[in-house]
Amino acid sequence: MQINSIQGLIPDLTKTSEIKQTSIPSMGFGNVLTDLIGSVNDDQLNAAKVTNDFVTGGNVEIHEVMIAGEKAKTSLDLLMEIRNKAVDMYKELNRIQI
């Protein structure tokens, strides 16, 4: 039984890191957080619109209202957890510097 080298199967890590650095635009934490806040706002507005359409007798089923509401709630909960972790991180960094 012949054992072949695996050298050809392993990607060249120096080339892949160069590709990642040049092809992916850098997004700062502020930009990611701003996009997340916008997404949460869109989910909240969509839930309000679907609920309003249901109440006014539009062509909306109750399960669509519930799904939109839960999606908005879940995205808001995620945003609050990210905010809490960021505040905790900031407090910890300030404690370390003192």
* Residue ranges of domains in the chain: 28-97
* Secondary structure class of 4 (helix, strand, coil): coil
Average pLDDT, the chain: 84
The two structure tokens encoding residue 46: 């969509």
68 in Cβ contact with 50 (< 8 Å):
yes
**Maximum Cα–Cα distance across the chain:** 75
Tens of pLDDT, residue by residue over 15-42, are 555 555 555 556 787 888 899 999 999 9
- Please report which confidence band the pLDDT of residue 80 belongs to, taking 50, 70 and 90 as the band edges: very high
Q: Which two tokens stand for residue 80?
A: 């609050």
Query: Model pTM?
Result: 0.67
Nearest residue to 40 (alpha-carbon basis) of 79, 88, 92, 98 = 79
Residues 26 and 75: beta-carbon distance below 8 Å: no
Place of tokens 């709630």: 73
Q: Kindly tell me if the per-residue pLDDT of 63 is higher than 60.
A: yes
